[in-house]
A and B are shown apart, each in its own frame.
Chain A
Amino acid sequence: MFPLSGGLFLGWALGANDAANVFGTAVASRIITFRKASILCAVAIIIGAICQGEGGIHTLSGLSKQTHMTTLLVVSLSAAVTVTLMTIMRLPISASQATVGSIAGVGLATGSMQWGGLIKVTTCWVASPIGALIIAIIIYKLLAAFIRYAPISILTRDKMLWSGLIIVGIYGSYALGANSSANATGIFSGQFPGVSDRQLALLGGLSIALGVLTYSKRVMMAVGKGIMPLDAFTALVTVSSMATTIHIFAFIGVPVSTSQATIGAIMGIGLVRGVHSIKFRSLRNIGFGWLLTPIIALILSSSGYAIFCLAKPAL
């Protein structure tokens, strides 16, 4: 079971990083305290992982046929180290990119890469921010029409946004658990006798929840204040669009980046409101992080594999 620790470490790093995309805007806007947000988020992630986490596990376990425990350890550790590095640098990166980058590194080194699966995953990476952008525009227009034309009090508006943010935050956390638990434990599918994919998804969900509870505050603040000033309304649109998008991809069974979906949603709001409201510098830094993530993960995992090969030529 020792190699699983690498996956659980990755799950922890993923939780520390990706919870920001679900509750970051609400916490940074002081709509909900970090403590309450992290507890709600952790519980919903675990439920999401149990209910819908298996689809992603099937996809990731099919990317590269690795059966040796040391190789699996290298893959999971490389992804975890990549995500941790990026988290320390306060860059909201993609854990799924780190995982797939690591799998690709070992897959290329061993010549066992399943290119069909990789193309499917990378296509979804491109599709997820575009999808979130379109969904954000639709949700924005619908909500804006309601608030503009319904005679409501400023207090009722607050109540609606407050409740809305909590609900979509919980839904987003559920979708995060459903979509991303595979990143933590997906590569171990079928490796441990008696451990089902659902149990692996639960373990992944638990590790993500632990990351949320212990180390997600800093990135939450970075995401909440980084790209565009988010008020309660834009936060609601952003999180609901991101949550819907990643939930759709959880149904498809491809883990996608919550960060990319969030940025896509914020871009959608920016397009509706006027592009001047987007901080392009932050956007550029985040894009830079995305580019680096799979490359660093790939280099780490292929180097790690090479080191293990030198130490144990039987690999």
Chain B
Amino acid sequence: MLFVNKQKEIQSQISEYCASVLECMDSFQEAVKQYCDNSDRKAVKASFAQVHKAESKADDIRREIEVLMYSKSLFPESRGDIMGLLETMDRVPNQAESAIRMIWNQYVTIPEQHSSELLNLVDVCCRAAYAMVDAAEKLFSDFTNAAVAVGKIDELESEGDRIEASLIEKVFSEKNDSISTIVFRDFIKCVVQISDRAENVGDRIRIIVAKRSI
């Protein structure tokens, strides 16, 4: 009975964690969109703070899960796998927060002509993060099919890479040698890392399922 209760507790904490990751990604997408529409720092400060808040909340829940899992609720192997998975997952909202911080600290200028493509990149990266959360949740509902859900992350990661390459090429084709171009390029790279990190989570999920394949 004790094991069942702890299992339910872990499962509900993980659902809460996934929800906070999704919340962070939604806030991130909204904040970038708002910044593209109006680059006034004061106007976007609140939405940037929202990203940070959601990321911190995800961090707190992850730590709670770690403590819960060390109270002898799982096989040592599963405990290690799930902790590793959560730590890898945590890098996705962290990256979203880094991108927002970059905008704030480095005064990133988003050229109007590239904003729609940038928003498309942000959308793809966020969808990769949603696919990651979906695959992770599958582990806790129908684990043998979690590997199938990972395929979607790979597709979105490839799409993100394609948009990144195309966008950087367009930015530099304008022969504008200003520092803001370099900063914008770095920002694009920072954003696309969200999907790269989601892909790393997908790889971990594949390994977790493969280790338990019969």
* A interface with B by C-beta (< 8 Å): 29-31, 143-144, 147-148, 151-159, 161-163, 231-233
Contact = CB atoms under 8 A, between A and B. Distances in A.
B142 A152 contact: yes
Given A144-B214, A159-B3, A153 B144 contact: no
Interface of B: 3-4, 7, 10-11, 74-78, 82, 139-145, 208, 211-212, 214
A161 B214 CA distance: 13
Contacts of A30: 75-76
Nearest to A141: B214
Contacts of A233: 212, 214
Nearest to B137: A153
Contact of B7 (A31, A144, A151, A159): A159
20 contacts: A143-B214, A147-B144, A147-B214, A148-B144, A152-B143, A153-B7, A153-B139, A153-B142, A154-B78, A155-B10, A155-B11, A158-B75, A158-B78, A159-B4, A159-B7, A163-B3, A231-B77, A231-B211, A232-B75, A233-B214
B141 A153 contact: yes
Contact of B75 (A31, A143, A152, A163): A31
A155 B74 contact: yes
Contacts of B77: 231
Please indicate which of the listed interface residues A29, A148, A154, A233 has the most CB atoms of chain B within 10 Å of its own CB.
Answer: A154
Nearest to B3: A159
A94 B41 CA distance: 79
Contacts of B142: 151-153
Given A153-B139, A157-B212, 20 more contacts: A29-B75, A30-B75, A30-B76, A147-B214, A148-B144, A148-B214, A152-B143, A153-B11, A153-B143, A154-B139, A154-B208, A154-B212, A155-B7, A158-B7, A162-B3, A162-B75, A231-B77, A231-B211, A232-B75, A233-B214
The 9 nearest A-B residue pairs measured at CB: A151-B142, A144-B214, A154-B143, A153-B140, A155-B7, A30-B76, A154-B139, A158-B78, A158-B75
